[in-house]
Amino acid sequence: LILSSGINAEYGGGKDCTVVLHLLYLALQQQASPIPSVLGVCIESGETFPEVEQFIDDVVEVYPITLVRIKAGIKEGLEILMKEHHDIKAILMGTRRTDPYSSHLTEFAPTDPGWPQILRV
């Protein structure tokens, strides 16, 4: 589950993606020593609170994550990410079934038609 395997993590500072990041960290602890750095992406589509920005910065200091920040909408942000990192095949996300447009998602779901092709996990 490292960048070279084509998997990365979405990280925007929310509770769900923080839990996903922590679970990824625990899995990497069991599989590798030293723990490899994971590529994370934070797509910033609007203004955020300074406290959230500080929390994101703090988390990056604790976990082995190289965070790429992209200021764009989600679709455009994924397009930018895929242009810069061609080997990404899947992205770990903290998405709930109750999130907007997410009720149809399964544990492993490709992006919708018209979006950059990546597997949402």
- What is the per-residue pLDDT across 104-121, written as a single tens digit (0 to 9) for each? 888 888 998 999 999 988
Average pLDDT, the chain: 85
Question: What's the whole-model pTM score?
Answer: 0.80
3-class SS of residue 15: helix
34 touches 73 (CB < 8 A)? no
3-class SS of residue 60: helix
Which tokens go with 111? 């992006």
64 touches 40 (CB < 8 A)? no
32-51 pLDDT per residue, tens? 778 777 888 999 888 888 99
